[in-house]
Amino acid sequence: MKTYSISEVAKELNVTAYTLRYYDKEGLMPFVERTASGQRLFKESDIAALNIIECLKSTGMPIKEIKTFIDWCTAGDITLQQRFDMFMERKSVVEKQMKELEETMKLIEHKCYYYKTALEAGTEDIHKNDKIEIPVTT
Amino acid sequence: MKTYSISEVAKELNVTAYTLRYYDKEGLMPFVERTASGQRLFKESDIAALNIIECLKSTGMPIKEIKTFIDWCTAGDITLQQRFDMFMERKSVVEKQMKELEETMKLIEHKCYYYKTALEAGTEDIHKNDKIEIPVTT
DNA sequence: GTAATCTTTAGAGTCAACTCTAAGTCAAGT
DNA sequence: ACTTGACTTAGAGTTGACTCTAAAGATTAC
């Protein structure tokens, strides 16, 4: 079975080897095996697991919570419910992030328009009488 | 013209007064006026500007870059092009974030399904023969 | 007018997530 | 055998963004 060194994996996942060692130190990689001399040997399945870790991280989940998930994985079928619940919660977190990102996008696009027209006019003054936007909650 | 105290603004924007003072210290709020005794007086337009700051922050822009933008605003029409370019770049950053968030969502949803079926079976073993997913670039 | 509750500042402390250093070990090429 | 470069560890250092403290001054409520 093909294995990979830490720097190969780092390159593949676009992180540094330092970061991977840090994750290991924090308990996110209890599954990675070692050679007799102590060097890490990453399997394909380890890289897949790291992809899940990256995915959780990208939802804003802190390392410590990801560790809890890894611990659940190690514990086996007894923690299936916790893991299911966790991913369902992540799903709603990501849904919220998507909505927020859309609001952000609206404002950014409005500003693009604002500056495009200001540039055409040569001055921002053309927007002097724009009404101040009060965020609408409903 | 109605004005607001730092704690009123903090409440409104869902941040702490500490945070607002920190932003001020970092140069994000040169426009906020003061009473004779030195207390900050926030106008509606200041709150609008803080909303833009929050918007930029939510795209992952660091405080120092936001300060650059605020400095451009202070400099006037001469920096219209820079500000337009900045928002156009933010737009493409947010587009990228949206795409990434969709990829994240796909993986999360897949995991929800994975654990839902595992729960129904009472064991994760039913997925033993799932092929390892190799991220597809195209 | 005085107590309670703001506000101000400079500067220190915290926290997460890296990021690096030092000193040593291991592996691959010539 | 020896050099070069990758790997190991513990632990220190960095960064960004707050978060708080202390001591002082200002404002509000009665």
Rounded percentage of chain A residues whose pLDDT exceeds 90: 91
The domain made up of B1-75 has a fold known as: Multidrug-efflux Transporter Regulator; Chain: A; Domain 2 (1.10.1660)
Residue A104 has pLDDT above 70, yes or no: yes
Q: Is the pLDDT reported for residue B135 higher than 70? A: no
Beta-carbon contacts of A108 under 8 Å, excluding residues fewer than 6 positions away, are: B55, B59, B87, B90, B91, B94
Per-residue confidence at A132, pLDDT binned at 50, 70, 90?
low
Kindly list the domain boundaries of chain B, sorted by start residue. Answer: 1-75, 80-138
CA atoms within 13 A on the CB side of A93: 15
CA distance A65 to chain B (A): 16
Whole-number pLDDT of residue B136: 55
CA distance A101 to A90: 16
State the pLDDT at residue B108: 98
Q: Is pLDDT above 60 for A80?
A: yes
Integer angstrom CA distances of residue B28 from A81, A100, A105, B34, B50: 46, 22, 21, 15, 9
At residue A129, the pLDDT reads 82
Å from the A31 CA to the C5 C1': 56
pLDDT higher at A135 or B8? B8
- Structure token digits, residue B114: 């994975």
- Listed as ranges, the nucleotides of chain C within 7 A of a protein C-beta are 6-10, 16-21, 25-27
Q: Do the Cβ atoms of B9 and B43 come closer than 8 Å?
A: no
Q: Which residues pair with A41 in a beta bridge?
A: A33
Answer whether residue B4 shows pLDDT above 90.
Answer: yes
Is B138 a residue whose pLDDT tops 50? no
- DSSP conformation class of A43: -
